[in-house]
Structure 1
Amino acid sequence: MIPSPDRRLVDADVVRRLIARQFPHWAGLPVRPVATNGWDNQTFHLGDRMSVRLPTAREYALAVDKEHRWLPMFASRMPLPIPVPLAKGVPGEDFAFPWSVYEWIDGEPAGTGAIGDLTGLAAGLAAFLVSLRRIDPVGGPEPGLHNWFRGGPLRIYDSQARRAIEVLDGRVPRDAVTQIWESALEATWDGRPVWFHGDVAAGNLLVRDGALAAVIDFGTCGVGDPACDLAIAWTLLSGASREAFRAGIDVDAGTWARGRGWALWKALITYDADAGAKRVVDEVVRGT
């Protein structure tokens, strides 16, 4: 089992000092926390059109150089906006890791009631991920600690998933989830490595005027098996929207089964901490 990182959080005063020392031309801009923060990074507004993104642990900081290298290249090839780094900071002023300044993208996280047409969002997201897979993968980072082995074999989390199934016996349908998990493991991948996002979740999809407006947070991106990007089919989508996503994403049955396994694994290990995990397990069991 991969250990949990030792997260370190900071406040806006630390960010102000970092900006003042390293990027003094921005020192006069106001700094304030964003409304909703993620787990791997803390994000702060810098003025009205920029953001500061700070890894919360050493392991998450491994993604900083990767994002600065690849995201500018991705941006010109994608059908939707993605975050573009403007500057890279170095450790200092009570902060131990490299960090970034990004362009700000307006929008609300999906899943907050802002989606006007979930089926349309699903089709647009599928097109986005297909475009990402078409980018030349040569030189891209293979699965590793920098992205918690997204894009690698699902089997790396086998013991963790089975332990969760044991602990949750009586709260989840043990036989059904075990069968789904084992089917995902059996659907091994031997395809050509492609780019994947790695964390296609509602919080990383921005919606504006009810429609998908941007995809953010590429910290777990890499080159390998794209099945991890399919978990959204069970965590956010259902019914017609899931069908539209599957029709547009253009993957074989084995990749779809592994994507279902990724969704199940995450729901099982977060079952007691995430109020939505039970719904995800239910969707995985009910929806193929």
Structure 2
Amino acid sequence: MRTSGDALTGERERRVRKAVADVRPDLAEAGALRPLGEGFESVALLLEPPGGPAHVLRFPRNEDGAEGIACETRLLPELAPRLPVPVPRFAFTAPNPLGPGTFCCYPAVPGDSLRPEEWHARGLLDEPGPVRLIARVLDAVHAFPAERARELGVPLQEPREEYADSERLAREHVVPLLPRGEADALLAAFGAYLGDDANFPDEPVLIHGDVSLDHLLVTGTEITGLIDFGDVAVGDPDFDLAYLWQQAGPGLVRRVQEERGAPMTARLEAKLRFWALADPVEDVLHGMENDLPDLSERRLADLRTLLSP
């Protein structure tokens, strides 16, 4: 989730406070209300009532975000006790005053959300504690019964179908923006991933779907929380390493795998490299679809850097 510095003022703040007051007037009557972060699918606000604990309010921005919060509402009460770190425990959900579906409210999970450069600057990726806990978190999420997750409405991820669709759209909209060599390299990466049956697990498991450094909350040198389960799915467990690979590098992923007693295979590395390419492609397409030219331009530059020899 991207951080945001925009102030919440006027009519939008009035609607938010009223929506909270309809359920918990003690939270809405007073206290600071400030932006906490935003992503493609939701926006988060921090509500700090005087003399009481801070609460996070997450509002879906579109139907995908609304479906994600609804899924979290059902899953997290059963998943949370199995995890080695605190996660959001919804105090309530209520009709969303800023968009579709319902919004959620929960006591703030302990810790700070840090940008990847802050993790590096603080040396957190060199500490044994965070690596050990990331391994435990992944194993605990993946151990949740997939059948029960599906009963709770967790969607089944279909990576072959989804990336085949991304390839089709990339051929039409992204490839024409690339020099020939880079375009050929991108299409070759899609072909290698999609054409190998071994890249797609026979038994998908519950995955968080967005294990990025900013979703692992930190206190001091320890991970003290995990947030943002909006992309939870039953899918390929390797995908929960994708953003760690992109943000922290292969070294961290190797150490996490060692901690889990799992091999860092050539196939896993190839999948992670492919997902690192596919991520900016999907952001470029998202920017085109939603009239966000700055996003498309920035992520196209990121893609070209990855494709450059």
* Global fold match (TM > 0.5): yes
Say which of 47, 51, 56 aligns to 1:51: 56
Deviates more, 1:225-234 or 1:12-21: 225-234
Higher relative CO (CA 8 A, sep ≥ 6), structure 1 or 2?
1
Deviation at 1:283, TM superposition (A): 5.4
Deviation at 1:246, TM superposition (A): 4.2
Residues 1:135 and 1:239: Cα distance change in structure 2 (over 3 Å): closer
Deviation at 1:192, TM superposition (A): 1.2
Report which of the two structures shows the higher radius of gyration computed on alpha carbons: 2
Write the distance in 2 (CA, Å) between the matches of 1:277 and 1:243. 28
**SS at the partner of 2:258?**
helix
Aligned partners of 1:44 and 1:52 also within 8 Å? yes
Write the distance in 1 (CA, Å) between the matches of 2:180 and 2:138. 34
Give unpaired runs (5+ residues) of structure 1. Answer: 1-8
Aligned partners of 1:132 and 1:195 also within 8 Å? yes
Listed as ranges, the matches of 1:155-234 within 5 Å are 155-163=164-172, 165-170=174-179, 173-188=182-197, 189-234=200-245
Say which of 98, 102, 108 aligns to 2:102: 98
Write the distance in 2 (CA, Å) between the matches of 1:55 and 1:163. 30
* Equivalent residue, structure 2, for 1:73: 78
Q: After TM superposition, where is structure 1 displaced by more than 6 Å over at least 4 residues in a row?
A: none
Deviates more, 1:54-63 or 1:232-241: 232-241
Write the distance in 1 (CA, Å) between the matches of 2:18 and 2:36. 21
Residues 1:164 and 1:82: Cα distance change in structure 2 (over 3 Å): farther
Aligned partners of 2:60 and 2:103 also within 8 Å? yes
Write the distance in 2 (CA, Å) between the matches of 1:39 and 1:185. 26
**SS at the partner of 2:88?**
coil
* Equivalent residue, structure 2, for 1:270: 283
Deviation at 1:247, TM superposition (A): 3.5
Deviation at 1:72, TM superposition (A): 1.8
Write the distance in 2 (CA, Å) between the matches of 1:68 and 1:33. 23
Deviates more, 1:47-56 or 1:267-276: 267-276
Deviates more, 1:253-262 or 1:221-230: 253-262
Deviation at 1:123, TM superposition (A): 4.9
1:244 aligns with 2:255: yes
What RMSD, in angstroms, separates the aligned Cα atoms of the two structures?
A: 3.3
Aligned partners of 1:187 and 1:254 also within 8 Å? no
Deviates more, 1:276-285 or 1:10-19: 276-285
> TM-score if structure 1 supplies the norm length?
0.79
Write the distance in 1 (CA, Å) between the matches of 2:81 and 2:229. 15
* Equivalent residue, structure 2, for 1:136: 145
User: CA-to-partner distance for each residue in 1:39-75, whole Å, 9 max, x for gaps?
Assistant: 3111111224211111011231012221111112211
* Equivalent residue, structure 2, for 1:3: none
1:36 aligns with 2:22: no
Write the distance in 2 (CA, Å) between the matches of 1:141 and 1:75. 17
* Equivalent residue, structure 1, for 2:18: 17
Say which of 136, 157, 168 aligns to 1:127: 136
Write the distance in 2 (CA, Å) between the matches of 1:122 and 1:268. 29
* Equivalent residue, structure 1, for 2:273: 260
Residue identity (%): 23
1:117 aligns with 2:139: no
Query: For residue 123 of structure 2, what is the amino acid of its counterpart?
Result: G
**SS at the partner of 2:141?**
helix
**SS at the partner of 1:85?**
coil
Write the distance in 2 (CA, Å) between the matches of 1:187 and 1:253. 14
Whose helix proportion is higher, 1 or 2? 2
Write the distance in 1 (CA, Å) between the matches of 2:250 and 2:270. 17
Give unpaired runs (5+ residues) of structure 2. Answer: 1-7, 285-293
Query: For residue 104 of structure 1, what is the amino acid of its counterpart?
Result: A
Residues 1:95 and 1:241: Cα distance change in structure 2 (over 3 Å): closer
Write the distance in 2 (CA, Å) between the matches of 1:276 and 1:183. 22
**SS at the partner of 2:148?**
coil
> TM-score if structure 2 supplies the norm length?
0.74
